[in-house]
Amino acid sequence: MSRLDKLYLGTNTKMYKTISQTKEFVRSLERLTGDMSEEETSLFVIPSFPSVGPAKQCLSSGRIRIGAQNMGWEEEGPFSGEVSAPMLKELGADLVMIGHSERRHELRETDRMENGKVLCALRNGITPLLCIGETGEQKDYKISDECLSIQLKTGLSQVSAEEAEKIWIAYEPVWAIGAKGTPADPEYVRRRHSTIRHTLEALFGETPGREIPILYGGSVNIDNAVSIIREENVDGLFIGRSAWEADSFNRIIRDVLPVWREKQRA
Ligand code: PGA
């Protein structure tokens, strides 16, 4: 079975939900999606650090994975304010988001830092979800593909082909994220995902390069989710605002699932 026999759907709740709100959210999501099979859908929620353990504990099965929004690049050390991979592991985190645009741009993280975090996550058995994306300015200069390729080659430096079997990628154009973002059109998404796929194949070979899940994120909503998932090499969606109510997230999942199945059969 290939990793791409599954549809990947998740949300990052940023710095929005408290512990009790996160628990309520994941419980409702688990209930609403109870009929979905783990073989077909990989659902995940990435809450803020204090909610990782509580969210994990209030789920009755491992069907919904819980991730962290960031992580230090060393197992331990004098890094006040950072959280390490072993700490996250102890909380039960299944995955870790690395290099989200807000970390890169608001907190000045670099590709080198993201690379250290990817390697650290792999050493500790946590799935790294590496986020990449060009800025609006880079898009205007028509250097989006070059930027994505640099972010992948640097962020995944020293990752072996065997380790690459565990990573996930999220393509999130910076200009498409958040309330001020402009949703990317599906054709644009398809072209960028194709670049990402080629770069992954160049880095790791056809196997596992062809099987690394590439998710799209940035202003995904109930109106555009279906047209994005139809595109080639879009293996899932990484959603912010439109997924923060369990009902709305569930509705998006149910809208895209039949379209994704159709694409798999084609
Ligand atoms: P958005 O957020 O869907 O609210 O644009 C996406 C993200 O930041 O991952």
One-character DSSP codes across 198-229: HHHHHHH-HHHHTTS-EEEESS--TTTHHHHH
Has this prediction a pTM greater than 0.75?
A: yes
Query: Which tens digits make up the pLDDT trace of 46-92?
Result: 999 999 999 999 999 999 999 999 999 999 999 999 999 999 999 99
187 is annotated as an active-site residue: no
Is there an atom of ligand 1 within 6 Å of 12 CB? yes
**Separation CA 259–CA 230 (nearest Å):** 7
8 Å CB contact between 104 and 135: no
Mean pLDDT, the chain, whole residue set: 97
Count the alpha carbons within 13 Å of 1 in the hemisphere toward its beta carbon: 5
* Two tokens, residue 224: 């555009």
Is there an atom of ligand 1 within 6 Å of 224 CB? no
**How far is residue 15 from each of residues 59, 123, 178, 240, measured CA to CA in Å?**
21, 27, 13, 11
Can you give the pLDDT at residue 1? 81
User: Peptide bond before 78: cis, by omega within 30 degrees of 0?
Assistant: no
Q: Where are the beta strands (DSSP E) in the chain?
A: 7-12, 41-46, 64-68, 95-98, 127-132, 168-171, 214-217, 236-239
**Separation CA 245–CA 255 (nearest Å):** 16
Can you give the pLDDT at residue 248? 98
What does the chain come to in residues? 266
Which residue is closest in CA terms to ligand 1's atom 1? 240
Is there an atom of ligand 1 within 6 Å of 173 CB? no
Percentage of the chain modeled with pLDDT above 70: 100
Confidence of residue 124 (pLDDT cuts 50, 70, 90): very high
Percentage of the chain modeled with pLDDT above 90: 99
Count the alpha carbons within 13 Å of 23 in the hemisphere toward its beta carbon: 9
172 is annotated as an active-site residue: yes
8 Å CB contact between 115 and 155: yes
Query: Which tens digits make up the pLDDT trace of 168-216?
Result: 999 999 999 999 999 999 999 999 999 999 999 999 999 999 999 999 9
Average the pLDDT over 208-232 and give the result. Answer: 98
Mutate to test the pocket of ligand 1, among 223, 238, 249 (most ligand atoms within 8 A of CB): 238
* Two tokens, residue 234: 């879009």
Is there an atom of ligand 1 within 6 Å of 241 CB? yes
